[in-house]
Amino acid sequence: MDLADFHIIDCHIHPALDEQTELNWFGASGTIEQQIDELRRAGISRACGAVIQRLDPTSFAPIRRLNDLALALRDRFPEFYVPGINVHPRFPDESCAEIERCCGGAGVRWVGELVGYLMGYGTEYASPAALAIMRAAAAHRAVVNLHCFELDTVAALCAAVPDLSVVLAHPGVGREEILARLRLVAATPNLYLDISGSGIDRYGILRLAVSLAGSGKLLFGTDYPINNPAVYVHGALQENLAAADLQALFRRNYLRLTGL
């Protein structure tokens, strides 16, 4: 199969828009035009994700700034970039209001990737404050993409807000960790997995994921600019999945969950 056969949507990027939001470990990512060109060169047609930075905020203002950057980027490149927004359980009322502003008023359908360890709230995804925010997201039919390796927390969130679609970022690192995450995705009706981050280099992981959880539970993501997006595109193609499974991974699952 050829790249021309697919319209690939990357559900997990973090645009680098200034020094604070630059995540490339080994150099600057360049202008946003250069970043989009890099993603397109890898075969990606559209990309989604939050603008993030390392924070320990004392007010919601820095979170709102990141969301404003994402909305402005969507307005500049509406055919390519789909915004993801940030929320913060330290500020539940402001976060719920932000979901209303962005998802209710601005048509956003993606929350995250939420990266608690980077933004000052660790793994607080199922606390009472966090669950209030998650319920607000579910009320607007927004999808929540989160970084969490504590599977008990992920399971608790999914059980507490069963009408929320949760996309777990990253397959994991070690074999047993990967298997545990795939089994949880398979067993949890409202939980999905994006393939960004570590794990995709383990050959056969996508065939196993399809076998355990079904291709309808997988979304394509790269975590660009931390990772090379072409690795994920060609890694997925190399596993010789059925064309329907690849279409589900590359595009259809994202469109079905977001309704875009």
What is the arithmetic mean of pLDDT over 182-207?
A: 95
d(CA 113, CA 137): 14
What is the arithmetic mean of pLDDT over 41-62?
A: 97
d(CA 44, CA 94): 34
Q: Tell me the pLDDT tens digit for each residue of 153-177.
A: 999 999 999 999 999 999 999 999 9
Q: For residue 80, what pLDDT band results from cuts at 50, 70 and 90?
A: very high
Q: Tell me the pLDDT tens digit for each residue of 111-158.
A: 999 999 999 999 999 999 999 999 999 999 999 999 999 999 999 999
What is the arithmetic mean of pLDDT over 92-113?
A: 97
The per-residue pLDDT for 107 is 95
Identity (one letter) of the amino acid at 38?
E
Q: Tell me the pLDDT tens digit for each residue of 207-228.
A: 999 999 999 999 999 999 999 9
The average confidence (pLDDT) of the chain is 96
The per-residue pLDDT for 1 is 62
Q: What is the CATH number for 42?
A: 3.20.20.140
Helix, coil or strand: residue 11: coil
What is the arithmetic mean of pLDDT over 4-22?
A: 93
Q: Is the pLDDT of residue 4 over 80?
A: no
- Number of domains, the chain: 1
Q: For residue 5, what pLDDT band results from cuts at 50, 70 and 90?
A: confident
The per-residue pLDDT for 198 is 84
The per-residue pLDDT for 200 is 86
- Host domain of residue 111: 3-258
Q: Is the pLDDT of residue 19 over 90?
A: yes
User: How many helices, marked H, and strands, marked E, lie in the chain?
Assistant: 10, 8
d(CA 47, CA 50): 10
The per-residue pLDDT for 199 is 80
84 to each of 27, 104, 143, 214, 238, how far by Cα in Å? 24, 14, 9, 25, 29
H or E segment and range at residue 110? strand 110-114
